[in-house]
Structure 1
Amino acid sequence: MTKFATIFFLGSLLYACTPAAPEQTKEIQIENNIERPFSDFELPDHVNFLGTEIQLKDIDLRERYEREIITNAYYHSSTFFILKRSKRWFPLIEKILKEEGLPNDFKYLAVAESGLTQARSYVGALGFWQFMEGTAKDYGLTLNKDIDERKHVEKSTRAACAYLKSAKEKLGSWILAAAAYNRGVNGIQNNLEAQYADNFFDLNLNTETSRYVFRIMALKEIIEHPEKYNFKINTYYNPYQIKEIRVDSTISDLSLWAKNEGFNKKILKKLNPWLISNQLRVEPGKSYVILLPAKGANLNAYREDNGE
């Protein structure tokens, strides 16, 4: 054995016989005791969605549903925040759906579209319901330099209801209407005719639309049974405590106006994200409702104490 080999062998032997530092031992023990977080979930034999009972004995339907369950159940931070936001926004959305005569399950479509945030897609769709500019205007939403009502939760929800009701009238079912929210009414109609089909589940569709309805169904299941999917929410986000002020004249400086009302621009924009500039031009005969914190609402509570 060469001199170098002898030294290397003795060094290796010494290292192998040296006890690990306490920190190293602890880390190894922790690593070895970690429970693997991934597991299957027990799926039901059928689900009820938009008033329709959907059997999941069919292999294709079951696997498509399971894919969305697993994807969203293990998409931890995103789904966790959706659960927390749901308590803030569902009461308003549910109220509007009921008034407009739509199934309550459509609130989960808003979740699938935006995660209940004022999201903007890479193609320019915006808001809880992800309206494109042209479609938003077609359904009565105002878009100009000062206002983008795609970010007005109540008005955009009513516009989405109008779209879905129109789609249902043309396509014949709420599930096809939901698919049309992703694919377009004409796109779904063309697929039905070309494939001699009469329902969503028999259609061969592009990947996005094929997954879309199942994603909404999966989000409904997870939101309604969070602990089954390993989500434990200690605190939800509550609805904002608000009061309404009707404005029928132009506000040239919204920051100053908010200050005079006892709040600030940050709070004004949080409650009214549809106000997209620092002014609100109001045409003669028109008015807007602006939301402000109700008396006692904990939205403007932070104050620096300056060390006192």
Structure 2
Amino acid sequence: MLKKHQYFLVGLLIGGALIYAAERIFSDRSTEPPRIPEASIGIKQNNHLISGYPVPDSMTFAGEIVPLHRRDVRERLDREIQVNAFWHSNSIILLKRGQRWLPLIDSILAANDIPTDFKYLAVAESGLDQVVSPAKAVGFWQIMRGTAGDFGLIVNKQVDQRYDPIRSTEAAIKYLNKAYEKFGSWTIVAAAYNMGMSGAAKVLENQRASSYYDMIMSEEPSRYVFRILALKNMLENPETFGFDVDEMYESESLKKVIVDSSIDNWNDFAEQHGTSYYQLKRLNPWIRTYKMNVKQGQKFEVKIPTKE
């Protein structure tokens, strides 16, 4: 019984010593929160708080003034700037891809008298990637199968020109021109690309609106043009957002081969031109199977990598 009391007292002494030591250790530490290290790309810090990106004082889209003097318009743009610019990984990829694709799209738009700001519509639609939407819209310009033929694109089991950046841009131009003839406003044309010409016309008529900024729509089209504006702002002024991106994706050295007869096997075609089926498909994603039947009068431009 005596030994049990002795063990109990020894335990109390040891426990008290440990508590005392712990208090001394923690009392010597600063009560201030740890300093947050400087954030990476594009984030400003003020007293450990992350501040937002600035909204420009003025902007235009396709030569049309964005009414940023209006509080509602400014706030709608602000939302898209913060949402898109703070998605840093995506922004960096867009800056890299833009170096390869935007000059090409810009030149095609300019040659067809379309305001070059519409290249940012392609960025908003697809991120300049060969994506397929849940609704089965395809490619840079997210063109539906049902409308592809109306604007000159070939779509079948062997060929899908919606995946061709040049051909799909030319098809989008036809749509944009048709929409501009109808609405006379490039900003409304951009909205119509998202919601359809009939949908845009119905909203304008029912609401007696004359401007995109006065149209009440569902969330996607109501944000759509502002997303394009936010992407334009970021891609044209990356330094404002703190982006300093290395290793931009440059245009590749290619040669073009005109194909006007059927191809029995694209693997054989690739080998004959000193490349592989993988490289052929990578550069010509519109090729959908291992062969292609070419009708009389049809011609296809096939890109082949050249050795540098």
Q: Same fold (TM over 0.5)?
A: yes
Q: 1 CA distance for matches of 2:216 and 2:85?
A: 26
Per the TM alignment, residue 5 of structure 1 is displaced from its structure 2 partner at its CA by: 8.0
Could you tell me which residue of structure 2 aligns to residue 32 of structure 1?
A: 35
Distance 2:12 2:198 in 1: 77
> What are the equivalent positions in structure 2 for 1:162-173 lying under 5 Å apart?
162-173=174-185
Query: How far does residue 80 in structure 1 lie from its aligned partner after superposition?
Result: 0.7
Structure 1 CA distance for aligned equivalents of residues 15 and 199 of structure 2: 71
Tell me whether 1:196 sits opposite 2:208 in the alignment: yes
The alpha-carbon deviation at position 192 of structure 1 amounts to: 0.6
Equivalent residue in structure 1 for 2:199, among 187, 195, 204: 187
Who is 2:102 aligned against?
90
* Aligned residue type for 1:201: Y
How big is each residue's C-alpha offset from its partner over 1:253-286, in whole Å with a ceiling of 9 and x where there is no partner? Answer: 1112202211101110111000011112112232
SS at match of 1:32: coil
Question: CA-atom RMSD, angstroms?
Answer: 2.3
Describe the SS at the equivalent of 1:55: coil
| Aligned residues of 2:55 and 2:81 also touching (Cα < 8 A) | no
Cα deviations by residue, 1:80-137 (Å, 9 ceiling, x for unpaired): 1000011101121111101111001000000000000001111111100001110112
In structure 2, what is the Cα distance between the partners aligned to 1:73 and 1:125?
25
C-alpha displacement of 1:12: 4.1
> Shift of the alpha carbon at 1:43?
2.1
Give the one of 153, 172, 176 matched to 1:141.
153
Q: How far apart in 2 are the matches of 1:32 and 1:47? A: 37
TM normalised by structure 2 equals 0.87
Tell me which residue corresponds to 1:66: 78
SS of structure 1 residue aligned to 2:94: helix
Give the counterpart of 1:245 among 240, 257, 262: 257
Q: Structure 1 stretches of 5 or more lacking a match? A: 20-24, 297-308
Distance 1:56 1:124 in 2: 35
Contact preservation (8 Å) 2:53, 2:241: yes
Structure possessing the higher radius of gyration over alpha carbons: 2
Q: Between 3-12 and 255-264, report the one with greater CA deviation.
A: 3-12
- The residue matched to 2:60 in structure 1 has which SS? strand
The separation in 2 between residues aligned to 1:123 and 1:291, in whole angstroms, is 29
Are 1:271 and 1:291, in contact at CA under 8 Å, matched by a contact in 2?
Answer: yes
Matches within 5 A, 1:158-307: 158-296=170-308
Aligned partner of 1:34: which letter? P
What amino acid is aligned across from residue 118 of structure 1 in structure 2?
Answer: Q
8 Å Cα contact 1:255-1:264 kept in structure 2: yes
Correspondences of 1:95-106 after superposition (within 5 Å): 95-106=107-118
Output the TM-score relative to the length of structure 1. 0.87
Q: Which runs of 4+ in 1 moved over 6 A?
A: 2-7
Change (3 A) 1:8 1:150: farther
Looking at structure 1, the residues matched to 150 and 22 of structure 2 have their Cα atoms a distance apart, in angstroms, of 75
Instruction: Establish whether residue 122 from structure 1 lines up as the match of residue 125 from structure 2.
Output: no
SS in 2 for 1:283: coil
Post-superposition shift, 1:294?
A: 3.0
5+ residue gaps, structure 2: 1-7, 44-49
Percent identity reads 41
Q: Does the aligned pair in 2 maintain the 1:45–1:55 contact within 8 Å?
A: no
Secondary structure at the aligned position of 2:51 is classed as coil
Residues 17 and 184 of structure 1, relative CA distance in 2, 3 Å threshold: same
Q: Distance in 2 between matches of 1:295 and 1:257?
A: 17
Distance in 2, Cα, partners of 1:273 & 1:15 = 66
Query: Aligned partners of 1:265, 1:12: CA distance in 2, in Å?
Result: 71
Count of residue pairs the alignment pairs up: 288
Give the superposition deviation at 1:14: 4.0
Task: Tell me the CA shift for residue 53 of structure 1.
Answer: 1.6
- Matched with 1:305 is none
Q: 1:113 to 1:6 in 2, by over 3 A?
A: farther
Residue identity in the other structure for 1:86: G
Q: How far apart, CA to CA, are the structure 2 residues paired with 1:162 and 1:6? A: 88
